Structure 1
Amino acid sequence: MAAAETLLLLVSMHRIVRHLRRSRTTTVMHPTQFLALMLIADEQPIRIGEIATRVPCSQPTATTTVAALEEAGLVRREPDPVDGRATAVVLTEAGAATVQASGQQAADELSHLLNRLDDTDRALVLKAGQALSRITKDL
């Protein structure tokens, strides 16, 4: 794999993500909060330690992030169903609505960007999205 092609992919992905962050009109939150909220939506119930590992961030950052999301009414802590001594984090109704709205808005904005491409290139990018999803699944 050519280093120049890899670097071009990296820079392009960063620019797209930055564009999507700036274009967000729904609940504006710190990127770590956004990533944690999306992770909680996918994996709930989930422990804070697992959030720290998967976002990734430090344990204190994950705790602060969850506290901010909890204060905003987007998540709540409840007893872990596997170990009642521990707590797990789950979405509230407001959190689920925020995830849905943020996801829809990001998908709409990305679709707008993809419409700049011809049909062949757009299909190639969408196919690459499946491969990128596979390599980031366990990150």
Structure 2
Amino acid sequence: MAYKKPESALVVLYDQHYRVLLLQRQDDPTFWQSVTGALEEGELPLETAYREVCEEIGIDAKAHGFVVNDHDKQNQYEIRSRWLHRYPPGTVHNTEHVFSLQINSDLPLALTEHLQYEWVSKDEALARLWSPSNKEAVSLFVPSVP
């Protein structure tokens, strides 16, 4: 197995009603999150954001005319011990690039890496998300209901 690069993209998705998309992880059903994934070799963080949205929920954002917003924000966090084996030996921190994307929730989603999804209010998302950096991204970059 090839090791993951300890650099990732986090993409907070919200819809036309300002509801946040939450995804339930297969390997930890208590863990709800936004779209996220490691950068591949030679890939820019924005490219990763578009790729991961397509891979994880089956939406080709560019084909639909949706624009991923780059917030020029990076977080560094300690990788959960249960996932350290996925990274090069001695790696304990990941650098996360933060993005957001508004999509139409009427589009069908095709999950490939998660058990289920839910569209929830911003407040509910903040209460259910596990990752502090994911909570912060929702808080900062999902608009409040007008």
Please indicate the TM-score interval, normalised by the length of the shorter structure.
under 0.3
The higher relative CO (CA closer than 8 Å, separation ≥ 6) is in 2
Higher helix share: 1
* TM-score for the superposition, normalised by structure 1: 0.26
* TM-score for the superposition, normalised by structure 2: 0.25
